[in-house]
Amino acid sequence: MVYMNLVALAPLLFSVEAFVLPDMFQQEFATPELQQFFEGKDELTREVLKDSSAVNYWKPHVPYFLKPLVETEKLQKKIQLDDLNATAQDLYDLAKKSHKKYGHPTRVIGSPGHWATIDYILEALDGMSDYYNYTLQEFDALSGKINSFNLTDAKTGVSFPNSTAFSLSPSVKPFTGELIEIPNLGCNEADYKSLEIFNKDQSEDNSVKKIALIERGKCPFGIKSDLAGKHGFHAAVIYDNEPENGGEGLHGTLGEPRNHTISTIGVSYDVGVLLVTNIEVSKHYFVKFEMDSTVSKIKTKNVIADTKHGDPENIVALGAHSDSVEEGPGINDDGSGTISLLTVAKQLTHFKINNKVRFAWWSAEEEGLLGSNYYAYNLTKEENHKIRVFMDYDMMASPNYEYEIYDANNKDHPNGSEELKKLYIDFYKHHKLNYTLIPFDGRSDYVGFIENGIPAGGIAAGAEKDNVWNGKVLDKCYHQLCDDVSNLAWDAFLINTKLIAHSVATYANSFEGFPLRDVNATADITTTSTNDVYNEVPVPQFKYAADYLVY
């Protein structure tokens, strides 16, 4: 009886912004019939308007209490290819705003295309202000630019093949210096102090500049570079320690500059062997070292949006990165994850939830996970403990995709990481899709969460590696100009966005069977992550910071 009256009244509710019914009445009024009325209304309107621009479609205002509780199948059903497509087109248009400054479309941090991406996300959230509130978190991101570099044999003038400049390497004026092999792995003060050249009593010519030759391994490249600088070296060369890599270059980062960081070039295993031999056979071996680079600070912003409803003590968190590399528009990396999150966030507004959901669009992922690290490392203990799980969604639609799941577990990672992995496995199995477990090694924004005790995981569709099923490269446009709208596999995009919806719906509904946060473990993990201890440097848990090797 009561509902009949309310149905008659319902159209009025569309325009009433703050229609609040006391809690005790809400359940009673939220009848299936009334809920259906509103649901039907929404679908109808969407059909009629046909403006599929994911940001702008009109939706009636349905009071929260009348919404049905989120269910995975219902949320998944609302994920539409047209929305993904329209938003991808929009993102590409935004990337084009950088053309004037960069000569091509890009959404790299600091570019007009990236700022426009952030505005676009905010505009979408503004359109859902009854359901979400958001915060912009500003921070300084370090961005390195290598203009040129060169490492050559001083005598022959022949340059060493496949040399690489470490990201965030400082500049140094071209000079010729003596290459000195550092004993052990150059991770400890003692490795440098033992060198005779630094004994003042020796008759070494101190005016000769010295270049440290250090083997890769055990500690981050940044620590080796810093230690070499601290002990008077003018530059450093780090060579690969994995014979199976042969002549292949070393793609690494020095990370945030330390007090004595010096200009550093990476060389392959083969070149390393050659250099060690050259030092052995000639008493003094000289190389010419050149590095023209800049390291700049760029202000940028994370976007963090919370549902207004749901238990604030049990938060479901998920993220994608809003930035691209400079080389291209980044529509798969990570336009796809950005779009998936926007789409799921929009469709979630049709439902009631039990647990609070937090969507994050990280900035400066491509510079080394800077935005997500900034966020995760700066959470207060109280805020940290409320986050039950973090789910990372980076590259959802690689053209020659495979269904990748990060191989997290509960032994090496916070309790719950394994349960999340299982949720993904079950989904792909249920849909009879082949999946691949891939290393949980730091290639995306989960690192800060794991390092701060928060269970995490995620899925991806593949980057520069070869597809395990067909042997061809997963994303032929990875970090390139051609990562545009034509670089998306639509079937994978749709499936993976539905899986994201499934993960959100599942945990927004209930954490039953999911481990509680072990709040006592958090403090330990956070305090051991300092890099300033030169002795007993711990082997980092993650090999990568985004695309770059860390050690």
Ligand X SMILES: *[C@@H]1O[C@H](CO)[C@@H](O)[C@H](O)[C@H]1NC(C)=O
Which amino acids are annotated catalytic?
365
Judged by CB under 5 A, the stretch of 204-212, 334-342, 355-363, 399-407 that binds Zn ion is: 334-342
Q: How many residues are given for the chain? A: 551
Residue 530 within binding range of ligand X, rule CB under 6 A: no
Q: Sketch the per residue contact string, 291 through 330, with ligand X: x for CB under 6 A, - otherwise.
A: -------------xxx------------------------
* Angstrom distance (rounded) from CA 235 to CA 396: 40
Contacting residue, 323, 327, 334, 392, with Zn ion by CB under 5 A: 334
Site string for ligand X, 44-83 (x = CB under 6 A): -------------------------------------x--
Q: What share of the chain is helix, strand, coil (3-state, %, to 5)?
A: 35, 20, 40
394 makes contact, choosing from Zn ion, ligand X, none, with CB < 5 to 8 Å by partner type, with Zn ion
The region, left, alpha or beta by phi > 0 then psi within -120 to 50, assigned to residue 330 is: left
Contact partner at residue 58 from ligand X, Zn ion, none, CB < 5 to 8 Å by partner kind: none
Q: Are 238 and 169 in contact (CB under 8 A)?
A: no
Interaction of residue 215 with Zn ion, rule CB under 5 A? no
Among 377, 435, 436, 441, binds ligand X (CB under 6 A): 377
Among 72, 76, 85, 169, binds ligand X (CB under 6 A): 85
Q: Shortest CA distance to 60 belongs to which of 8, 4, 13, 9? A: 13
Q: How far apart are CA 49 and CA 52, in angstroms?
A: 8
Structure tokens at 133: 């509130």
Q: Which range of residues in 94-102, 119-127, 331-339, 491-499 is near Zn ion by CB under 5 A?
A: 331-339
Alpha carbons 343 and 55: distance in angstroms, whole number = 9
Q: Is 161 in the site for ligand X (CB under 6 A)?
A: yes
Q: With CB cut-offs between 5 and 8 Å by kind, which of ligand X, Zn ion, none does residue 354 bind? A: none
Distance in Å, CB of 342 to Zn ion, minimum: 16
Q: Among 259, 527, 530, 535, which residue interacts with ligand X (rule: CB under 6 A)?
A: 259
Query: Does 373 engage in binding with ligand X (CB under 6 A)?
Result: yes
Residue of the chain from 39, 130, 204, 248 that contacts ligand X (CB under 6 A): 248
Q: Is 157 in the site for ligand X (CB under 6 A)?
A: yes
| Minimum distance of ligand X from residue 32's CB (angstroms) | 31
Question: Is 150 a residue that touches ligand X (CB under 6 A)?
Answer: yes
Q: CA 425 to CA 404: how far, in whole Å?
A: 10
Cβ atoms of 489 and 398 closer than 8 Å:
yes
Neighbours of 458 (CB within 10 A): 26
In the numeric block, the tokens 């939706």 are attached to: 59
- With CB atoms as reference, the residue minimizing the distance to ligand X is 247
Distance of alpha carbon 106 from alpha carbon 517, whole angstroms? 39
Contacts 24+ apart (CB under 8 A), 521-525: 521/414, 521/453, 522/381, 522/384, 522/385, 522/452, 522/453, 523/381, 525/451, 525/452, 525/453
Q: Which of 235, 232, 223 is nearest to 193 (CA)?
A: 232
Question: Could you count the other beta carbons within 10 Å of the beta carbon of residue 153?
Answer: 17
Minimum Å gap between C-beta 203 and ligand X is: 31
Structure tokens that stand for 90 in this block: 């929009």
**Span from 117-125, 160-168, 302-310, 393-401 in contact with Zn ion (CB under 5 A):** 393-401
Binding of ligand X at residue 134 (CB under 6 A)? yes
Does 436 contact ligand X by CB under 6 A?
A: no
| CB proximity list for 442: less than 8 A, separation 6 or greater | 369, 541, 542, 543, 544, 545, 546, 550
Query: Is 83 an interacting residue with respect to Zn ion (CB under 5 A)?
Result: no
Query: Of Zn ion, ligand X, none, which one sits near residue 159, judging by CB under 5 to 8 A according to partner kind?
Result: ligand X
If binding is defined by CB under 6 A, does position 520 make contact with ligand X? yes
Q: Which does 373 bind (CB under 5 to 8 A by kind): ligand X, Zn ion, none?
A: ligand X
Q: Which of 290, 333, 418, 475 binds Zn ion (CB under 5 A)?
A: 333
Contacts of 81 (CB under 8 A, 6+ apart): 490, 493, 494
Nearest partner of 82 among 355, 455, 339, judged by Cα: 339
Closest approach, Cβ 312 to ligand X, in A, equals 7
Shortest distance in whole angstroms from residue 113 CB to ligand X? 20
Whether 287 contacts 152, CB under 8 Å: yes
Q: Show Cβ contacts of residue 21 under 8 Å, excluding neighbours closer than 6 positions.
A: 29, 63, 65
Binding site for ligand X (CB under 6 A): 81, 85, 133-135, 148, 150, 152, 157, 159, 161-162, 247-249, 259, 270, 304-306, 373-374, 377-378, 415, 434, 469, 490, 515-516, 518, 520, 532
Binding site for Zn ion (CB under 5 A): 333-334, 394
